[in-house]
Chains A and B, each alone.
Chain A
Amino acid sequence: MNTNSDRRSHTAPIIEINDLTVRYGDKPALNGISFDVYKNEILGIIGPAQSGKTTLLKVINRTLEFTAGTTVEGSVKLDGVDVNTVGDVYGLRRKIGMVLPLPVGLPLSIYDNVAFAPRTAGVRAKSELDEIVERCLQQAALWDEVKDRLNTLGTKLSGGQQQRLTIARALSHQPEILCLDEFSIAVDPITTMRIEDVLKELRAEMTILLVTNLVQQAKRLANRTAFMLNGDLVEIDTTDVIFSDSPGSQATYDYVNGTFG
């Protein structure tokens, strides 16, 4: 980890994960992993199923506590504050945008889906909400398709459109960190490319954690990439190194080149 800190010592880390261990009952999901995430980078997280990628994201925005029987040890600091002891958990979650693998359309209209988070945060003015909705839908490459039917149910959209709706929703509270959990599995390749372009632009405004099963997606987008396996952090380094012929670990090389996983 020290090597990473040295390499990036000119920017302060926005997320500091220190010796994080998570168990579901007796079953370990994360075994004491530590790394930092820096401001305005895209960190790709790759790894086969059961490697703890989703768990990691859920620890950061503290939605893991809705799963019964989980224990979390170690610390996750966001802007220097430990998320597990933070007083205002709702405020914490507003700093983080989360996109889940399968689209979860809240059973509300398209407009209300995007306006939900600003409203819970206390934005009431119609003009302000209109502005947020339009901006977020445009960022998620959905505005042109739905601008004439903002009042229809969000769940009536197609799968790919719903996924873009969830991305728009995740952007609606202007998060500092955007967590994308395999966002592209329900989206067609063309739209995926459009969203990836958006992500590249968003990097200027926020930090992006990109969990993906498509190693090429991490290669295209990420500044740095972490490889996780069975709850361990095998390697975290710049994307160039991870995808080079000589990454730090043989397992990384094998996974990236499709020899296993």
Chain B
Amino acid sequence: MSRPNPKQKFALQSIALLTLGVVSVLVWNVLKKTYLSDVQVLSVARVSDPLPNLFGDIYFFLSISFLGVLLGITCAFYLEEWLPETNWVRCLIEGQVSILSGVPSLLYGLLVVTVFLPYSGAFQRTQGFPPAGDLNTASLQVSSFQGDTTLFYIAVLTFVLLVVPRVIKATQEALRSVPIPIRESAYALGANRWQVLTKHVVPLSLPRVVAGACRAMSCALAVSALFIGIYISGYTIQPGQMSGRFALFLGAALLLSIFSSFLSQRYPLASTRHI
């Protein structure tokens, strides 16, 4: 296979981007249909609970995180393996990623509560948490987001901001840790880029990529659990169902972070590993 000329390269990149775009739109639509109906049902049942609706659906959470992780990994592979270091798109994304991934995950939760929810109209009257003891009034007031898509978009936006940069960063670090001599040796033996990637780079970096993804999801789950916990302790008189969710989120966050630590310990960065 010869080296593609710039035109071919551009065409290939456009096709890849288009495919990614189309797939995202499709998945987005499926998700929207599935979850918006759920949100509606929940809203009808307990209109006073925008927070639990936002943070509370584990299925929604898992699928959106999974998508976020996939998007992050794909993006990192493209940046690291295909784009040259001087490419302006790469510079731009890497800059944003290093900013976003450095922000503590708690701040994203606060961002939702203090900015997204009040200004999106999800809480029309209360501008934040519904006041304790005022639940009945609140439930009447907040009924306006019944069937609203705002919560869905807020949730997606938050998870994209929280999970994707962390995944990109972890994946890039894992890819960079694959020793250059290994790549060079494989290339020197006549392997092409795809063979080097699938036979050496991916197997060597995979545990670290998975660990990074788990850590990112764990962060997001933990923040959700935190907000559900606050909600239970301060803002509802019937914590029953929410306690279960709280436990589920906290448990999942703990499990993921333990799994991630286990992976990082069992498989150190490829460059420091005696393979």
Contact = CB atoms under 8 A, between A and B. Distances in A.
Contact of A89 (B3, B200, B203): B3
B191 to A, nearest CB: 5
A152 B200 CA distance: 17
Contact of A63 (B179, B184, B204, B275): B184
Contact of B191 (A68, A104, A120): A120
Nearest to B2: A87
A88 B2 contact: yes
B3 A66 contact: no
Residue among A61, A68, A116, A153 with the most chain B CB within 10 A? A116
Contacts of B203: 107
Contacts of A88: 1-2
A219 interface: no
A178 to B, nearest CB: 12
B186 interface: yes
Interface string B184-207: 111111111001000110011000
Interface residues of A, number: 31
A169 interface: yes
Contacts of A25: none
A47 to B, nearest CB: 21
Interface in A59-76: 61, 63, 66, 68
B182 A121 contact: no
Contact of A68 (B1, B84, B181, B199): B84
A118 B181 CA distance: 20
Interface of A: 61, 63, 66, 68, 87-91, 93-94, 96, 98, 100, 102, 104-108, 116-117, 120-121, 153, 155, 166, 169-170, 172-173
23 contacts: A63-B187, A66-B180, A66-B183, A68-B84, A87-B2, A90-B191, A91-B190, A93-B188, A96-B188, A98-B188, A100-B185, A104-B185, A106-B185, A106-B200, A107-B182, A107-B204, A116-B186, A117-B189, A117-B190, A120-B190, A120-B192, A121-B190, A173-B189
Given A66-B187, A107-B204, A117-B189, 15 more contacts: A61-B188, A66-B183, A66-B184, A88-B2, A90-B190, A90-B191, A93-B187, A93-B190, A102-B181, A104-B182, A104-B185, A106-B200, A107-B203, A120-B192, A155-B275
